[in-house]
């Protein structure tokens, strides 16, 4: 039986693939976005998946947005915390604004989105929370102290919350994608790709957004009820923990 799912940052890139895959699996899917109205509406027209605009770094905006979603679609039973931003800079050039923006969206956003749905999941004795972290939260990355810290924090959040949700039928898991073939990666020159990126990946290619989406569909399913507090690394063997 299909469930109501929210995918943050769900209208572009990996998030769009997740939204479409969950819909194909029979769920009622809502995608949130923060900025690009044109692309979000094009996604809605193309997929039939409704889109809602709010900033996940704002707790008040998340509470208001989730209340609207639940009023229109029903209680949220699956939450995919995918929304993320980057503000890359070497640490000696990183500003407080760079730091706060990334922590606000990529880490605090998990609290802001999960807290409003948590009590309902506890009352219904069911919930699926899937947090999209990153390989760089596992291994670190120069120029991304803010991003790596936030994504590592996502993993700690996942493990702690999994312990709290287990007896209430709520599973909480994380996925750490490696280099994925998205619009962001398309901006990298072929020379850099061939010399510096692909040699780091044992399978010899970038991942595809659909491959991450399939991981989410599984973790959101009833079949994954015994999996909680786990980190699924989807990186082609680039980092093994």
pLDDT score of 24: 98
**Cβ contacts of 82 within 8 Å, gap of 6 or more:** 7, 8, 9, 10, 14, 15, 18, 132
Using the Cα atoms of residue 175, residue 177, residue 107 and residue 66 in order, give the sign of their dihedral. negative
Residue 88 DSSP one-character state? -
Could you give the count of Cα atoms lying within 13 Å of 174 in the half-sphere of its Cβ?
25
Give the global pTM.
0.97
Res 91: pLDDT: 98
Per-residue pLDDT of the chain (241 residues; tens, 9 = 90+): 799 999 999 999 999 999 999 999 999 999 999 999 999 999 999 999 999 999 999 999 999 999 999 999 999 999 999 999 999 999 999 999 999 999 999 999 999 999 999 999 999 999 999 999 999 999 999 999 999 999 999 999 999 999 999 999 999 999 999 999 988 788 888 898 999 899 999 999 999 999 999 999 999 999 999 999 999 999 999 999 7
Chain mean position to CA 169? 21
What residues are labeled active site? 147
Place of tokens 């880490």: 107
């Amino acid at each position: 039986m299909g469930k109501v799912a929210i995918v943050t940052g769900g209208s572009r890139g990996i998030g769009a693939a997740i939204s479409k895959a969950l819909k194909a699996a029979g769920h009622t899917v809502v995608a949130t976005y923060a900025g690009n109205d044109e692309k979000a509406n094009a996604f809605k027209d193309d997929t039939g998946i409704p889109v809602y605009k709010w900033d996940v770094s704002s707790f008040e905006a998340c509470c208001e947005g989730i209340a609207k979603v639940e009023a229109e679609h029903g209680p949220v039973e699956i939450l995919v915390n995918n929304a993320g931003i980057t503000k890359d800079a070497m640490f000696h050039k990183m500003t407080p604004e760079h730091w706060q923006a990334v922590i606000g969206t990529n880490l605090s956003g998990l609290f802001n989105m999960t807290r409003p749905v948590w009590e309902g999941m506890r009352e219904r004795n069911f919930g699926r929370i899937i947090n999209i972290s990153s390989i760089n939260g596992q291994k670190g990355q120069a120029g991304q102290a803010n991003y790596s810290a936030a994504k590592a924090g996502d993993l700690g959040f996942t493990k702690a919350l999994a312990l709290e949700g287990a007896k209430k039928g709520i599973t909480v898991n994380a996925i750490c994608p490696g280099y994925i073939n998205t619009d962001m990666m398309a901006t990298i020159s072929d020379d850099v790709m061939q010399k510096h990126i692909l040699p780091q990946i044992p399978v010899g290619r970038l991942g595809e957004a659909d491959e991450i989406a399939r991981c989410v569909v599984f973790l959101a399913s009833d079949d994954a009820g015994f999996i909680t507090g786990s980190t699924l690394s989807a990186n082609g063997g680039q980092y093994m923990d």
